[in-house]
Amino acid sequence: MSASTRRPGGITTANALPLAFSWLILAVVIVLLAFVLYMTFVPSLPTEPGFTLKHWSNVASSRLLTRVIPNTAIVGFGAIFVGAFFALPMAWLLNRTTLPLRATFTTMIGITPVIPGFILAMGWIMLLDERIGLLNNVAASLLGFSSIPLSVKDSPWGIAWVLGLILAPAIFFLVAGPLCRIDPSLEEAASVVGMRHLTTLRRVTLPLVWPGILGGLIYVFMTAVSIFEIPALLGAASGKVPVLASEIFYSVRPGGPLTATFAYGAAGVYGTLLAAPSLVALYVYLRVLERTERYQVITGKGYRPRETDLGGWSWIGVGFVVLYLALAVGLPLLVLLWASLMPVLQMPSREALSKLSFTNYDGLFEGLGGFGVISNTVVLVLSVSLFVSFFSFMVSWVVVRTQAQSRKLMDMLVMVPHAIPSLAFAFALAMLGILASRWLPWLPLSGTLGIIAVAHVINRMPYGTRVMNSALAQVHRELEECAQVCGTKTPTIMRTIILPLIKPSVIYLVVWTAMLSFQEVTMALFLSGPHNNVLSVSIWVLWEGGNLGTAAAGAVAMVATTGLLMFGILRLAGGPTAGLVGREVGAAPLTKSQ
Amino acid sequence: MIRVKNLRKTFLTKQGSQAAVHGAEFDVAEGEIFMLLGPSGCGKTTTLRCIAGLETPDEGEIWIGEQLVFGDRGGTLLPVYKRGVGMVFQSYAIWPHLTVFDNVAYPLVHGIYKAPKREVKGRVQKALSLVGLERFEDRPAPLLSGGQQQRVALARALVYEPKVLLLDEPLSNLDAKLRAEMRIELRALMKRLNITAIYVTHDQEEALVLSDRIAVMHAGEIKQIGTPRDIYVKPQNDVVAGFIGTANLFSASITAVPRNGEEGSVSTPIGALACPLPPSVAVGQPVTIMFRPEDVVVRASQAGPSQNSLCGVVEQAVFVGSRLQCVLSVQGHKVHCEVPKSQLVETGQSVVVEIPRHAIHLLP
Ligand SMILES: Nc1ncnc2c1ncn2[C@@H]1O[C@H](COP(=O)(O)OP(=O)(O)O)[C@@H](O)[C@H]1O
Ligand SMILES: [Mg+2]
């Protein structure tokens, strides 16, 4: 036996492995961030010499100030407004009242994020458009007008409406968490003291939950303004409604109607503009969270919040939730299904029914890009979910299981991709790819599946570590220590003790990550080349190319695949994993789990 | 076999630093059952975890056998899995995804105590029969009762035949009756295997029954080390006296030192008492005296002349089955005592209290 010689209190060999992997993934995050900033000071590509501030001075350009930033603001705030309009009443209805079918509704809201947002946007174009919109046509024929000039396309308000519907689940779960966890005894105490209901809400309930809600709303705002593909479908691609996200995209991938040349520096500036406020917000939010935790106002478990009995009003509540689900999921998917079965989109009628056919599906396989795209998608989805699970496990191990001094810092750093718009990361990666192709020709990055995988992995790390943190925190420390005393080293303990114990959470994380990687478009499109197209990108490209019928067929096929896979895997994995859906899905993305 | 020198461990928490153990020092001989006894939060578990290697001390030295496993000078730190100790955790740490057999076999299948495949089954069975669980091999661990889990944890700690066994309150999750049985069984087993054990408990009765030697801990410090009898009869300070059993403690001053066959005496708040005194004391010196409730004799009235007799009133009398536990008021001070169950004592009754002079112990 040999004694290892290390300073007492230092890092023992047992933690070296998880620490190394954790720093590896975090180093990638830090390098990419620094790179975005660096790009804003070089004239063009970093391969060329020079230093310039002109990208920053260009921010004051009139186009940006008069069109892009106002549009982006409308999209961001509008989406929050629409989302909150649906999410806040639903959060209260499904968590603090005796509404029937609450669990089912919560699960349904929980799984809507696996339905690709751009597919829902496609559905909404078919629903609400002055020329082809089915809702417009129905309303016009009922009211006797020739057309209804209302459209989700070509207006920032239309983008805000669709994004709001898509992001409502995020707001729902952000609010539901604190709503469930407020200790009812606090509220009761307040009402005993004689505060009236509204006063209680204002003076007691809100101060307890606002940090969580505020942080969440910032997150939703940042998500809304950094999604590219939905604004692009709804008017940014045609140049009618430019937003920051589309500016970045077309600066790096010219071909849009506006910029004919590369403008990397400008894209870097836009990326920084998107990233800086949310980083500050994340920091403030984490600090506030720490303080509230110290006061222990929100207690953990072991009681049920007080529930209001709606009595005869229940059906209105149910109606509201059903209305949301119909608007956000039901109608868009139905109209896509209908469109996929029609040679040319038209109103449902007896005549239309006679034209029902599967012709759109016939050309689907080739239209999407054939076997190459399918295999790309499978490889991407599998590798992303495996890597995310692996790295999340390692980071959470360090954070939850060790006394390493860096663990607090690590827990914060791994949340950074949550605040940085995915587009900024995609941008940095695209730049690195271009550089690598010049400097390190042997390193295949640009235009490969690998670069998309890296982007997806980084993007999903914050969520992965939240799931793993709470899973690991539930494994009693002594279960692991006992194995150490029994003579086994950390890697063996992870394999034989920890992983079997947290299996449901791991399966859940793998499935959920795979689903979200499957439907992601913004980064995959940004980083796409001739050989690394995935399914979601192909559908998007089909739609942009005007093949609405085939695109609709592809969308239906994609949603069906998602549904089947999710259902099948969760059935196979059994009860404990399935039970996590709806609970974990909703775990507020920013809440710390210890 | 185990030597701990000047062990210090401080935890840094949000509220500041918390000295969990400071300056603990003891030796455990081979085959000895050594008890760490003290109230909750006094640093027993921390001390044990430092020995196992699960915590890194700030200062001190720890030897197991001939090997230095931790030393602040030279920065030696032997990782947990190489220390060759067996440990029973307070939570038992039974792995819920494994059967009883797999739990016990784990050290022989993975890690550094790995045994040849053909030996595993036999050794696991032997360990299970030591703790009386032969027929439970295939039982999934979550389906065991508390007592059975405790036995599995013990079998798992013994299966690789460690020289040193560390136990952290292994009986605290059991009900009172089972606990009393297990104490005796556990001691017999450890003596049969001649294993060196450090045993942590907050239960003084358990400590007295089970151990060869006891270290009483308080607020991170070891207050006294000695045999159970020494600790009970000759506590070195009021903390130890107060923690082990019930003690009557009074501050006193010496009024006469023993000389020419005459006895020494002290004056106390409850009256003057004659008692044995060491020769080193001087008149007027302040001291603390201690006597145990079971040594106090209570009578209804004065029966002839006797030494150390005081008058008192019964304030409280509680029947606990084998005897009555009483609180008397003597000169306005409370005196705890025990009375045989045959004797009738009522609240409010005036009694005569006799404290035999050899029952009185002077705390240094
Ligand atoms: N990991 C830890 N972090 C901070 N403080 C701790 C930790 N472990 C123990 N302590 C503190 O150290 C003191 C001693 O704890 P412990 O050794 O568990 O006591 P015992 O086992 O005697 O009940 C306690 O005050 C406890 O709060
Ligand atoms: Mg303890």
Sequence-ordered list of residues with C-beta below 8 angstroms from that of B123, at least 6 positions apart, any chain = B108, B115, B159
Cα dihedral A60/A61/A62/A64 (nearest 10): -90
Is the confidence at residue A52, as pLDDT, over 90?
no
How large is the ipTM? 0.86
Tell if the CB–CB gap between A479 and B14 is shorter than 8 Å.
Answer: no
Cα dihedral A525/A531/A533/A538 (nearest 10): 100
Atom of ligand 1 nearest to the CA of B220: 14
Is the confidence at residue A243, as pLDDT, over 80?
yes
CA–CA gap between residue B132 and residue B144 (Å, rounded)? 14
Q: How confident is the model at residue B62 (pLDDT cuts 50, 70, 90)?
A: very high
Contacts of A43-52 with CB under 8 Å at 24 or more apart are: A43/A265, A44/A262, A44/A264, A44/A265, A45/A264, A45/A431, A45/A434, A45/A435, A46/A431, A46/A435, A47/A435, A47/A438, A47/A439, A52/A265
Is the confidence at residue A590, as pLDDT, over 70?
no
Antiparallel, parallel or unpaired: β B16-28 and B221-226 = unpaired
Retrieve residue B91's tokens.
């939570």
Which residue has the least CA distance to atom 14 on ligand 1?
A: B43
Contact residues, chain A, for B79 at CB < 8 Å: 4, 12-14
**CA-to-CA dists, residue A173 to A86, A300, A421, angstroms:** 12, 17, 20
CA–CA gap between residue A178 and residue A206 (Å, rounded)? 10
B45 lines ligand 1 (CB under 6 A): yes
Contact yes or no for A142/A556 (Cβ under 8 A): no
Contact residues, chain B, for A488 at CB < 8 Å: 81, 106-107, 110-112
Tell if the CB–CB gap between B76 and A496 is shorter than 8 Å.
Answer: no
Is the confidence at residue A580, as pLDDT, over 70?
no
Vertex B8 angle, CA B5 and B13, to 5°: 165
Is the confidence at residue A546, as pLDDT, over 90?
no
- The answer to whether residue B83 neighbours chain A at the CB level (below 8 Å) is yes
Contact yes or no for A159/A235 (Cβ under 8 A): yes
CA–CA gap between residue A236 and residue A118 (Å, rounded)? 13
Atom of ligand 1 nearest to the CA of B46: 17
CA–CA gap between residue B213 and residue B230 (Å, rounded)? 9
| Residue of chain A whose alpha carbon sits nearest to that of B76 | A5
| Residue of chain B whose alpha carbon sits nearest to that of A483 | B107
Interior/surface letters A320-330, b for 16+ CB within 10 angstroms, e for the rest: ebeebbebbbe
CA–CA gap between residue A289 and residue A282 (Å, rounded)? 10
Handedness of CA A497, A503, A505, A507 (dihedral sign): positive
CA–CA gap between residue A182 and residue A292 (Å, rounded)? 12
Retrieve residue A261's tokens.
């040349």
CA–CA gap between residue A135 and residue A145 (Å, rounded)? 13
Contact yes or no for A454/A425 (Cβ under 8 A): no
**If you average pLDDT over each of A82-91, B103-112, B244-253, which comes out highest?**
B103-112
Our CA-based measurement puts residue B94 at a distance from the nearest CA of chain A, in whole angstroms, of 7
Identify the pLDDT of residue B101. Answer: 94
Handedness of CA A284, A289, A291, A292 (dihedral sign): positive
- What would the DSSP string read from start to end of A327-386? IIIIHHHHHHHHHHT-SS-----HHHHHT--SHHHHTHHHHHTHHHHHHHHHHHHHHHHH
Which of residues B44 and A449 earns the better pLDDT score? B44
Phi–psi pair at A520, nearest 5 degrees: -70, 135
Sequence-ordered list of residues with C-beta below 8 angstroms from that of A202, at least 6 positions apart, any chain = none
Contact yes or no for B189/B130 (Cβ under 8 A): yes
Least confident of B26-35, B89-98, B272-281: B272-281
pLDDT tens, position by position, A110-146 = 878 878 888 888 888 888 887 777 887 788 888 877 7
Pick from A238, A272, A236, A266: nearest CA to A252: A266
- The answer to whether residue A479 neighbours chain B at the CB level (below 8 Å) is yes
B56 lines ligand 1 (CB under 6 A): no
Identify the pLDDT of residue A368. Answer: 78
**CA-to-CA dists, residue A365 to A345, A361, A448, B332, angstroms:** 21, 8, 22, 99
A interface mutation test: which of B81, B109, B154, B156 has the most A CBs within 10 A?
B81
Q: For chain B, give percent helix, strand, coil, nearest 5.
A: 30, 40, 35
Pick from A270, A224, A275, A223: nearest CA to A247: A270
Which of residues A49 and A556 earns the better pLDDT score? A556
pLDDT tens, position by position, B204-235 = 889 999 999 999 999 999 999 999 999 988 88
Identify the pLDDT of residue A100. Answer: 83
Least confident of A279-283, A318-322, B92-96: A279-283
Contact yes or no for B162/B115 (Cβ under 8 A): no
Q: How confident is the model at residue A285 (pLDDT cuts 50, 70, 90)?
A: low
Identify the pLDDT of residue A37. Answer: 77
pLDDT tens, position by position, A374-401 = 888 999 999 999 999 999 999 888 888 8
Q: For A509-515, what is the mean pLDDT? A: 85
Identify the pLDDT of residue B4. Answer: 94
**CA-to-CA dists, residue A161 to A87, A89, A164, A582, angstroms:** 13, 17, 5, 24
Identify the pLDDT of residue B175. Answer: 86
Q: For B317-344, what is the mean pLDDT? A: 89
Contact residues, chain B, for A481 at CB < 8 Å: 52, 54, 80, 89, 93
Tell if the CB–CB gap between B67 and A485 is shorter than 8 Å.
Answer: no
Give the closest ligand to the alpha carbon of residue B20: 1
- The answer to whether residue B107 neighbours chain A at the CB level (below 8 Å) is yes
Sequence-ordered list of residues with C-beta below 8 angstroms from that of A443, at least 6 positions apart, any chain = A436
**Helix, strand, or coil (residue A543):** helix
Our CA-based measurement puts residue A25 at a distance from the nearest CA of chain B, in whole angstroms, of 27
Helix or strand holding residue A554 (H, E): helix A548-573
**Helix, strand, or coil (residue B319):** strand
Phi–psi pair at A560, nearest 5 degrees: -60, -45
Residue B56 Cα, ligand 1 centroid: separation in angstroms?
13
Percentage of the residues of chain A whose pLDDT score is greater than 90: 8
Tell me the whole-structure pTM to 2 decimals: 0.80
Identify the pLDDT of residue A261. Answer: 60
Pick from B245, B248, B214: nearest CA to B353: B248
- The answer to whether residue B102 neighbours chain A at the CB level (below 8 Å) is no
Residue B5 Cα, ligand 2 centroid: separation in angstroms?
21
**Helix, strand, or coil (residue A137):** helix
- The answer to whether residue A404 neighbours chain B at the CB level (below 8 Å) is no
Which residue from A8, A492, A500 is facing B77, i.e. has the nearest CB?
A8
Q: Which residues pair with B286 in a beta bridge?
A: B253
Helix or strand holding residue A123 (H, E): helix A117-127
List domains and CATH numbers for chain A: 20-38+63-296+314-342+362-590 (1.10.3720.10)
Which of residues B283 and B199 earns the better pLDDT score? B199
**Helix, strand, or coil (residue A1):** coil
Retrieve residue B9's tokens.
């461990």
Which residue from B85, B91, B95 is facing A485, i.e. has the nearest CB?
B85
Identify the pLDDT of residue A62. Answer: 63
CA–CA gap between residue B1 and residue B51 (Å, rounded)? 12
CA–CA gap between residue A397 and residue A403 (Å, rounded)? 10
CA–CA gap between residue A152 and residue A75 (Å, rounded)? 12
CA–CA gap between residue A320 and residue A318 (Å, rounded)? 5
Q: How many residues does chain A have?
A: 594
CA–CA gap between residue A515 and residue B77 (Å, rounded)? 46
- Contact map slice: B 50-69 vs A, CB within 8 A: 52-54, 56-58, 67-69
